[in-house]
């Protein structure tokens, strides 16, 4: 996937092309005053980003290592020796 960058004025003038390229080629970056400002995504790409992920608890509970006992006690000392 080749990342396409658009200047804001070009994006405004060629909006239909911008939308088509986002659908076919992937995210399209639009810059304003020389700095990246927004990204135009296909709805498919957006939904991949927007869907809720698994929580850490659910991930650990469904892990094949779920039955392994972990020592979750916290060392309450203010500092620990580190050997490098």
Give the tens place of pLDDT for each residue, 37-71: 999 999 999 998 887 777 788 887 788 877 878 78
Secondary structure class of 4 (helix, strand, coil): strand
Going along the chain from its start, the domains and CATH numbers come out as: 4-52 (3.40.1620.10)
Burial of 11 (0-12, 13-18, 19+ CB in 10 A): buried
**pLDDT band for position 1 (50/70/90)?**
low
The alpha helices in the chain, defined as continuous H runs, are 8-13, 15-25, 43-50, 56-62
More reliable by pLDDT, 28 or 78: 28
Give the mean pLDDT of the chain.
Answer: 87
């Amino acid at each position: 996937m080749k990342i396409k960058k658009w200047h804001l004025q070009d994006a405004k003038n060629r909006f239909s092309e911008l939308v088509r390229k986002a659908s076919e080629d992937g995210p399209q970056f639009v810059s304003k005053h020389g700095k990246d400002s927004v990204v135009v995504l296909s709805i498919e790409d957006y939904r991949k980003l927007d869907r809720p992920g698994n929580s850490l608890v659910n991930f650990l509970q469904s892990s094949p290592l779920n039955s392994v006992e972990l020592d979750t006690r916290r060392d309450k000392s203010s500092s620990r020796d580190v050997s490098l």
